[in-house]
Structure 1
Amino acid sequence: MLPLRDDQSTRSFPIITLLLILANVAVFAGWQLRVGLEDSVAMAGFLPEELTTKSSTTWYYVFTSMFMHGGWMHLIGNMWFLWIFGRNVEDNCGAIRYLLFYLLCGVAATLSFTIVDPHSKIPLVGASGAISGILGAYLLHHPRARVLTLVPLGPFIRLMEIPAWMFFLVWIGLQIASQILASHTHGVQTSGVAYAAHIGGFIAGMFFIVLFEKGRDSWRRRA
């Protein structure tokens, strides 16, 4: 399913969401393409095996990997989801808290992948773990929002307005099913998609948003 827009308005300009998109595009187009995708991933991607087997692991790879991508479609897909759903989460948190929330979700997603596949020798890159945290936060805050979505139905594609809770239920269900299938067939990351990072980031976002949102006490009363 491809989301096109939601029906939620924002009260403030999403400056951090826009800067995150620009940062990801700049890293990919300005550095990765110049160095080469394989070389750049080898240089600054996160390698789970280094964290679990070496005491001198450079932790900044956890953060550098969040701003790298494996190709144009990987980048465009992530940035599209970030723009659609990140704006409202930023509006709920405020700029600085939103940035901290985003980075923390990215760290949680990376560690989740490492727990599932601690000896992986495949570098992990991409913003999808952090963005999955945004999806989890959006689900809590805007479960009744309507998301205009392209939905494949066999050979046809239909344009539908789907409730946010349904959209994310299908999305997280696909991540869980894909992770289970990957683990029981060929291995954790044979497909090139780190489903465990998506799941971990999504769950982390649902927990962390309570700490970083504005008006936390009033939100707890509503909950």
Structure 2
Amino acid sequence: MLPLYDKTKIKSGIPWGIIFLVLINSFFFFVSPDVNFFGFSLENIWNGMLFTLITSLFLHGSFLHLLVNMWFLWVFGLNIEMRLGTFRFLLFYILCGIAGSVLFALSADVMVIGASASIAGLLGGYLVLFPKNKIKALFPPIYLPSVVYIFIWFLFQIFSVSQMNISTAYLAHIGGFIAGIILIKKI
């Protein structure tokens, strides 16, 4: 279920954090750096490559992976950035991504890349801050309370983890989501 937009805006302003994230994610996608060097894995961490905790969040396996993540970033990140401010928003985004990536890496010996754990953290934070906001979904084309939309999304993540599909790091999504719920009021 693809979200089209959030019906409620808390305040207006230029979302510099979101603009920065879209630009940096797009840059990394089109430059295509070495995933084995910049992706996150426990092996890279043991080898002293701590920077991969952050660089991995900006790598994507396909254009669709990038596009969907950036779309969710826009829909769910806008109100959060307006509430937190740009710096706190970016810190929240990165911490959620790291939490999700670490959880996934502890469960699978596979390189993890992508912003999905950070995006999932935004959904967790959004759930806490804006549970009554309406999300316009594409299929079916209806407005749903964000708590319902996010609950359906979360059920999909749980179901997908149970299928043991490691081509998508669903456990990273769950870790990022939980981090978002926990961190949103602490940032």
Shorter-chain TM band: over 0.9
- Decide which structure has the larger Cα Rg and report it: 1
Map 1:88-99 to 2 at 5 A.
88-99=79-90
1:44, distance to aligned residue in structure 2 (A):
1.3
1:49, distance to aligned residue in structure 2 (A):
4.0
Please name the residue that 2:115 is paired with. 127
The one-letter code matched in structure 2 to 1:177 is F
TM-score of the superposed pair, with normalisation by structure 1 = 0.80
1:169 and 2:151 matched: yes
Q: Secondary structure at the match of 2:135?
A: strand
Please name the residue that 2:36 is paired with. 42
- RMSD of aligned Cα (Å): 1.3
Please name the residue that 2:173 is paired with. 198
Q: Secondary structure at the match of 1:70?
A: coil
CA contact (8 A) 1:10 1:87 kept: no
Deviations 1:153-176 (A, max 9, x none): xxxxx3111110011001011101
For residues 10 and 145 of structure 1, the distance between their equivalents in structure 2, rounded to whole angstroms, comes to: 10
Map 1:3-152 to 2 at 5 A.
3-11=3-11, 12-29=13-30, 31-32=31-32, 40-51=34-45, 54=46, 56-117=47-108, 120=109, 122-151=110-139
Percent identity of paired positions between Structure 1 and Structure 2:
38
Q: Secondary structure at the match of 1:112?
A: helix
CA contact (8 A) 2:81 2:89 kept: yes
Deviations 1:136-169 (A, max 9, x none): 0001111111111022xxxxxx311111001100
For residues 76 and 157 of structure 2, the distance between their equivalents in structure 1, rounded to whole angstroms, comes to: 18
For residues 179 and 9 of structure 1, the distance between their equivalents in structure 2, rounded to whole angstroms, comes to: 33
CA contact (8 A) 2:57 2:118 kept: yes
CA contact (8 A) 2:6 2:136 kept: yes
Gap regions ≥5 residues in structure 2: none
For residues 175 and 48 of structure 2, the distance between their equivalents in structure 1, rounded to whole angstroms, comes to: 21
1:64, distance to aligned residue in structure 2 (A):
0.6
Deviations 1:114-149 (A, max 9, x none): 2222xx1x3211001111111100011111111110
Deviations 1:63-90 (A, max 9, x none): 1100010010000000000011101111
CA contact (8 A) 1:108 1:204 kept: yes
Please name the residue that 1:221 is paired with. none
For residues 43 and 155 of structure 2, the distance between their equivalents in structure 1, rounded to whole angstroms, comes to: 28
TM-score of the superposed pair, with normalisation by structure 2 = 0.94
Q: Which moved more, 1:94-103 or 1:75-84?
A: 94-103
| Aligned length in residues | 186
